[in-house]
Amino acid sequence: MEKIIIVASQTEGLRSVFPKINGKPEEIEVVLDSGSQIVSMSSSVASSLNLHWDPTRVIHMQSANGQLQPTKGLIRNVPFEFGGLTIYLQCHVIEKPPYQVLLGRPFDTLTESTIKNFPDGEQEVTITCPNTGNKMTVSTFPRGKLKRSDNVKPTLRQQGEVALQFGLDEHGEVIITGYRLPHEGNSFSDQEVAEAYVTAAKDVIANTDRAAADVVDTFMNE
């Protein structure tokens, strides 16, 4: 009998969570990245959540091309609510990053987070409140695919563009499987259109063109 050997995939995408930030009902994608030394937030998201930052608390971040870019400032003690568990984080504000919010190492150390991964790529994160000792296990979602809710319809804060992702249910009916809003203003930039397209295409090509799927994974993880 031929022995089957299980091997790792070439890439695995980052995962996201959707906590309530600053008590607001908006659904914000928060990317988990333990390789980052900071917690950071898009300036447009900070403004939409009515958060204000200290412009004197600036650090310099190295971009992919090696250049140093300053942050816009620091928001202190931002409440992130995961279910009934609230933690307070220091968020560095960044102009037009390729994400809405990113949770780095400060989140991991504050919450003593433990991660459970599954063979199918799913992931759960268990966090502990440093003030109460209460624990909460949080489901994660693939980055770039907003959480689906069967009971709550997404609401738009203002009129503008929205990208919709469609799929087929078990009966072959067309359904909306995800949506995405612009990071800045009411319209998508060319870069955001490209990101939305490759995100939607990833699942379609995963089983038909492995080389193309690997290119998409590399693009999404940059």
Of 222 and 126, the one with more pLDDT:
126
pLDDT tens-digit series, residues 59-115: 998 766 677 889 999 999 999 999 999 999 999 999 989 899 999 999 999 999 999
- Where in the chain are the domains? 1-143, 145-222
Find how far residue 182's CA is from the centre of its chain: 14
What pLDDT is attached to residue 42? 96
pLDDT tens-digit series, residues 136-172: 999 999 988 765 554 444 444 445 677 776 777 677 7
What pLDDT is attached to residue 191? 76
Whole-angstrom Cα distance, residue 26 to residue 19? 9
What pLDDT is attached to residue 220? 57
What kind of architecture, by CATH, is found in domain 1-143? Answer: Beta Barrel (2.40)
Q: List phi, psi (to 5°) of 139.
A: -75, 150
Whole-angstrom Cα distance, residue 8 to residue 11? 8
pTM score: 0.66
Considering only 24-33, 49-58, 74-83, 157-166, which range has the smallest mean pLDDT?
157-166
Query: Which residue pairs, CB below 8 angstroms and at least 24 apart, start in 213-216?
Result: 214/10, 214/11
